[in-house]
Chains A and B, each alone.
Chain A
Amino acid sequence: MDKEVELRVGIDIGGTFTDLVALDNDGNLVNLKVSTTLKPEEGVLQAFDLLMKNYPYKISSIIHATTLATNLLLGQRGLDLPKAALITTKGFRDVLEIGRQRRAELYNLFFEKPKPLIRRKFRFEVPERIDYRGKVITPLNIKSCKKLARKIKKLEVESLAICLINSYINPIHELKIKEILRKANKNLEICTSYETIPEYREYERMGTTVVNALLLPKVRTYLKNLEDRIRERGIKASLKVMQSNGGIAEREIVSLKPFTIIESGPAAGVIACSYLTKLMNIERALSFDMGGTTAKAGMILNHLPEFTNEYEVGGKIHVGRIIKGSGYPIRFPFVDLAECSAGGGTIAWLDSANTLRVGPLSAGSNPGPVCYDRGGEEPTVTDANLLLSRLPEILAGNLKLNYELAKEAIKNLSVSLNLDVIDTASGIIRIVNSLMSKILRVVSLERGYDPRDFTLISFGGAGPMHSCPLADELSIKRILIPLNPGLFSSFGLLSSDYTHNFVRSVVKKMGELKKEYLDEIFDSMLKEAIGLLNREGIKDEQRSFFKFLDLRYSGQGYELQIPFKEGDLENMKELFHKRHELLYGYSVRDEEVEVVNLKLISLGSLEKPKLKKMEESLYKDGREALKEKRKVYFENEGFLETSIYLRGKLKAKDEIHGPAIIEQYDATTVIYPKWSAKVDTFGNLLLERW
């Protein structure tokens, strides 16, 4: 008898669709799409019911990516934040509002700061002070704490953040305040900054703590409710949630630290790439994910994505990067992605100097591009691709594309530009490609890496259509297009591990630090990590721990993360100098090196999904998959006779030469002249430039 079929299920809630992917133990992938519902859990449950009806197998794990946290903070309609308050050191209640004093837009006289998440009226101060060494210089005034506790109760505050100056080094006052407030009000949610993220720099720590306090009640209720209702369907698997660090955690654990799931969705695509690079032994890869409204780029080195600690929710983006001061800072390792407003639905327009521009506005999926014939009037990137004959007549979901409407829309632009319609369409593609090439530069060249050594992994509904010219722009020679480009992100949910991050700031010269002191701090983090792993039921052999120090030259404003070498600080200093040299071109060996943070990452590794092996092709030239030939436009050559293939009929070892197009349900791959594509044993397309 066959062994029992088990499904791993990933659920990703997007603005338009809720995607469910299920993978069985043989590597068969199933995708179910339902419309996203006003109450997001309803859509999820609909998808589950659909799954159970069509695939009545045991569900072994459920991994969820959610944008609830972001939507809550950005004030999406129908989502209200709880009434929250902040307690801080006397003299500092405006730290939250002043931020870093910087304005996010230089030349806009009508700019506004992001609205403070807790208004002044609800920001309270208590007399107390701790100095930078952790010494109490003004004792906590217990009487005023008690008075405040009564006041906060009277105000019917639901959630409270506590963040005191220098508490990262000594939390005694924060914990005492928590105790007093807890005594006075049993139902109050309380987040101290020390327990949330004990990292130095008060504004960022305070902001993160406040965000956590604001998210906590709603996120906890949502996740608990969702798990309960899944359980009602007889599914025993617990609910796991994707975090911004690309790792998963049990529902119970993220419910206490909801600030860790802000960028829950986007991390998944990069995790899928990491997994693929490991499987195929690719050392250096760039991920490129292009959908309907945005394109995102990331870097994967030695099978690991890059992380950033500088993230702001709701921040404005400039050339791929978030502008400092434009959103709410969160201190947590986020999978580092550069982003731009470029997708299939991105609108092309003329600015006041009669210059052709693409984006940032998008027609989204409703009304969508003009050619969808759903009332869209402004030409989009998809309309341009259609005019260049790159798209099939009918898209996924039986959507018939209207060529004449698209042509009419682009003609309006071409008349003003005094260009031919096709040249205008090709212009739109060239401009959107040049925008997207910048985000690839941001994640590679800006970090000192030469993109020529990288493989570009291109996915998302629109990614494979644009990858050849993007690769050319950066002189990249290899492109990898996964089997299901449109579902690849969701696949990432199924290939991630349990990951938890811990941090303690010390800010001390290396020369002044004793080994025992560092060990003590690492041990306390280790204890915390083990506690979480126990709760998640991770076995010993699945566990691994990684220690790091954040180092800098004394007085510098930025730190570099260096792997911690047990008892060998000298060696670490040397590693730091070398890394500084690599990144910034120089080192200063006679300068003192400072330890800013101690970091611990705990990993609970899970068995990875199997990929299905593909049958080998008989002729190895794709002839069995050939659908038709038609003229397709390419930027440098104009219209060329081009072979169109069906991806579903391609087999392992098939090799196709550009110009060619490969069509599939969820994406279209355009292979430019001078490029060729080979199908590997897992059905991935490997494109190479000759």
Chain B
Amino acid sequence: MVDIITAEVIRGALTYTAEEMGITLRNAAYSPNIKERMDHSCAIFDKKARLLAQAEHIPVHLGSLVYGVKEGLKKIGELEEGDMIAYNDPYISGTHLPDLTLVAPIFYKGEIVAYVANKAHHSDIGGKVPGSMPINSKELFEEGLVLPPLKILEKGKIKDEILQIIERNVRTPKVTLGDLRAQIASNHLGNRRVLELMDRYGYEKFLEASDYIMDRSELLLKSRIEKLPKGSWEAEDYMESTGVEEKRMKIKVRIDVYKDEISFDYEGTHDQVKAPINAVYGVTLAGIYYTLKCVIEPELDINDGAFRPIKIKVPLGSLLNPIPPAPVALGNVETSQRNVDVLMRAFSKFLPDKVCAACQGTMNNLLIGGYDDIRKKFWTFYETIGGGYGARKGLDGVDGVQCHMTNTMNTPIEVIESEFPLIVTRYKLRANSGGAGKWRGGMGIERAFKLIAREATVTFIAERHKIRPWGLFGGKEGAPGELYLIKRGKKVRLKGKCSIKMERGDEIVIKTPGGGGYGEPKERDKKFLLKDLEDGLISRIKFNPNS
């Protein structure tokens, strides 16, 4: 019989090792993307490439490593001690090109006993625009350098030619190589820690513990599923623009619960498009795992065992499981959010107390850059902006926060102004944007920037500028997002996905969507209405439109 106490200690040690790898990566990284925004994840796999433990800082990486490591190892073939592989091909790695995955085998007494892996979002990986997230690409090749699984370390030695290829293909080589070194350091650390565990407990105990860890998650999830209502539920929602053209594209899911299994079938989802909003399979998985964990068991340890009771069917060639060379840069940041909305809506039909109404449903990606004639250098600024969280039973939605698949921090105003030719003119909660309800949706954010350099290019990528975040059980929709350019006092409304030129003195104004409400607005406690009114989060007119 497995010694459960030792297994439990090993489980704790593996989870901590994944965390420690994450901290090493963050500390050693160069770009704000990783250092401030923590756009990276680390994991440990067993010798069959089954996930044992993972530390992810943003949920969109949750499924992609599981999928990506297996696929990557399949492609590379035999590995030797000291080897490490790197790749970013979305169709193998499971996210988009800026995410670089590094995997290393762990050898103990001459044989592979486990793997360590990490993934980090690089600030540039080449392609047609800085930041490598163009809104109008028609093929993957426009989005940047595509690396299939390659040995970046061979028998412990860095392969310079691979670094040179990367160096010559990205706009910020120093930063990218710095971050890459941090990723290598992180895997080295993971390798060392796992070997320490082997030395302490022996390989046999480690194997026993691995089985125990995975079985435990499987059992926990199964016991949760067994208690769910049995049946079949469907939901759908839409993407509103491909990046190239505005049109509605359906995402549809059917959830079936039977005995101790749960299945997700995306039959009826729109075909893939020749535009960057396709989400690779790994991203779709991440949405499923994330929502399931949130709704069914937030304490669930995500590892291979947790996936066993889940069946997934996503039509090949659809928006959520495209075939190459469809571009995929925005699938991560936008389509991934809609996938969660659809799943949440389906769950709301049989677990109404466990879900939230639609959150802002977008990441509001903002990229501004160009030549700074004040500091005499090229610059790029990238951030995602929070919005309204959906209302929950018994709780209002949270105001001004990152939702679902992302959780990156903002860049402080004083940091932006001291580094870039921008002045932030306001940063506030967007009154009246949360959907009304017994529990109201969270308020979106209003953030505006004035350019003080001669000119710059702004790319903005968002959804929910037309199709509003939905409410639940009588709760109203949240306000849609809005984007404006103010030029010489004239305000012009822009589309949710656009790329424009700004000139000195121009101001760009971003209003992010509010969350949906939960329950009938007329049932809302007067006390809360009054508080919101006093705080200026709702105005009297909206409070009672008939008076």
Q: Give residues in A with beta carbon < 8 Å to B.
A: 90-95, 97-98, 100-103, 105-113, 119-121, 129, 131-132, 137, 165-166, 168, 200-203, 319, 324-325, 351-353, 355-356, 417, 419, 423, 426-427, 430-431, 434-435, 438, 441, 445-446, 507, 553, 555-558, 583-586, 588, 591
Other-chain residue from A94, A120, A353, A558 in contact with B220 (beta carbon distance below 8 A) = A353
Query: With contacts A356-B4, A557-B35 known, is A434 near B9, CB below 8 A?
Result: yes
Question: Could you list 11 further interchain pairs (A-B, Cβ under 8 angstroms) beyond the known A200-B414, A356-B8, A446-B23?
Answer: A91-B425, A97-B399, A98-B400, A103-B402, A109-B354, A109-B392, A120-B429, A137-B423, A165-B413, A431-B9, A557-B415
Residues of B within 8 A of A507 (CB): 418
Q: Which residues of the partner chain A approach B36 to less than 8 Å between Cβ atoms?
A: 557
Known interface pairs A94-B428, A109-B355, A165-B414; A351-B23 also in contact (CB < 8 Å): no
Q: Please state if A202 and B414 are interface contacts (CB–CB under 8 Å).
A: yes
In the assembled complex, how far is the CB of residue B87 from the closest CB belonging to chain A, in whole angstroms?
22
Q: Are A441 and B20 interface neighbours, CB within 8 A?
A: yes
Number of interface residues of B (CB under 8 A): 74
A445 to chain B, nearest CB (A): 7
Q: Could you say which residues of chain B place their CB within 8 Å of the CB of A324? A: 409
Residues of A within 8 A of B19 (CB): 319
Of A98, A113, A431, the contact of B5 (CB 8 Å cutoff): A431
B395 at the binding interface (Cβ < 8 Å): yes
B13 within 8 A of A: yes
Q: Which of B75-83, B89-97, B126-134, B290-298 contacts A (4 or more CB under 8 A)?
A: B290-298
Is B182 touching A584 in the complex (CB atoms < 8 A)? Answer: yes
Whether B414 contacts A557 by the Cβ 8 Å rule is no
B243 to chain A, nearest CB (A): 24
Judging by beta carbons under 8 Å apart, are A101 and B410 in contact? yes
B290 lies within 8 A of A98 (CB):
no
Specify the chain B residue showing the minimal Cβ separation from A473: B200
Let me know if B412 is at the binding interface, CB within 8 A: yes
Residues of B within 8 A of A105 (CB): 298
What residues on B are CB-neighbors of A106 within 8 Å? 59, 407
The CA of A555 and the CA of B35, in the complex, are separated in Å by 11
A584 touches B28 (CB 8 A): yes
Cβ of B426 within 8 Å of any chain A Cβ, yes or no, is: yes
A555 in contact with B5 (CB, 8 Å):
no
Q: List 14 A-B contacts (CB under 8 A).
A: A92-B413, A103-B403, A109-B295, A110-B394, A113-B401, A121-B534, A352-B220, A353-B219, A355-B216, A356-B8, A434-B12, A435-B12, A584-B28, A584-B182
State the 10 A-B residue pairs at the shortest beta-carbon distance, nearest first.
A91-B426, A120-B535, A557-B36, A427-B5, A101-B386, A584-B28, A353-B220, A132-B417, A557-B35, A132-B418
User: Is there an interface contact between B181 and A585, defined as CB atoms closer than 8 Å?
Assistant: yes
Say whether B299 faces chain A, with CB atoms less than 8 Å apart.
yes
Instruction: Tell me the minimal C-beta distance from B357 to chain A in angstroms.
Output: 10
Chain B residues with CB under 8 Å of chain A are: 4-6, 8-9, 12-13, 16, 19-20, 23-24, 27-28, 30, 32, 35-36, 59, 174, 178, 181-182, 185, 216-217, 219-220, 223, 290, 293-295, 298-299, 354-356, 385-386, 389, 392, 394-395, 398-403, 407-410, 412-415, 417-419, 423-429, 445, 448, 534-537
- Chain B residues in 8 Å Cβ range of A555: 32, 419
**Selected contact of A94 from candidates B12, B178, B429, B448, CB within 8 Å:** B429
If A446-B20, A586-B181 touch, does A109 touch B294 (CB 8 Å cutoff)?
A: yes
Report if A94-B427 is in contact (Cβ < 8 Å); known contacts: A353-B220, A441-B20, A558-B35.
yes
Residue of B nearest to A133 (CB): B418
Contact B429 A201 (CB under 8 A): no
Shortest Cβ distance from residue A477 to the other chain B in the assembled complex, whole angstroms: 16
Q: How far is the CB of B540 from chain A (nearest CB, A)?
A: 15
Task: Give the chain B neighbours of A438 by CB distance below 8 A.
Answer: 12, 16
Given A97-B429, A434-B12, A556-B30: A107 and B293 interface contact (C-beta under 8 Å) = yes
List A contacts of B409 (CB < 8 A): 100-102, 324-325
> Which residue of A is nearest B300, CB measured?
A107
Residues of B within 8 A of A95 (CB): 413, 427
Are A553 and B30 within 8 A (Cβ)?
yes
Which chain A positions have C-beta within 8 A of B28? 584-586
Contact at A355–B294, with CB atoms within 8 Å?
A: no
Assembly CA distance A374 to B101 (angstroms): 55
- Residue pair B398, A203 in contact (C-beta under 8 Å): no
The one of A121, A203, A355, A427 in contact with B535, judged by C-beta atoms closer than 8 angstroms, is A121
B59 A103 Cβ-Cβ under 8 A: no
Chain B residues, Cβ within 8 Å of A111: 398
When C-beta atoms are compared, the residue in chain A nearest to B409 turns out to be A100
A106 to B426, CA, bound (A): 28
Cβ of B386: which chain A residues have Cβ within 8 Å of it? 98, 101
Question: In the docked arrangement, what's the CA distance between A434 and B295, Å?
Answer: 30
Cα-based distance from A201 to B413 in the complex (angstroms): 7
A417 to B410, CA, bound (A): 46
Q: Which residues of A lie under 8 Å from residue B4 when comparing CB positions? A: 355-356, 417, 419, 427
Contacts of B354 in A (CB 8 A): 109
CA distance A563 to B4 in the complex (A): 50
Q: Across the interface, do A430 and B9 meet the contact criterion of CB distance under 8 Å?
A: yes
Chain A nearest CB from B139 CB (Å) reads 32
B contact residues around A137 at 8 Å (CB): 423
Task: For the complex, give the distance between the alpha carbons of A90 and B30 in Å.
Answer: 34
**B392, A101: Cβ atoms under 8 Å?**
no
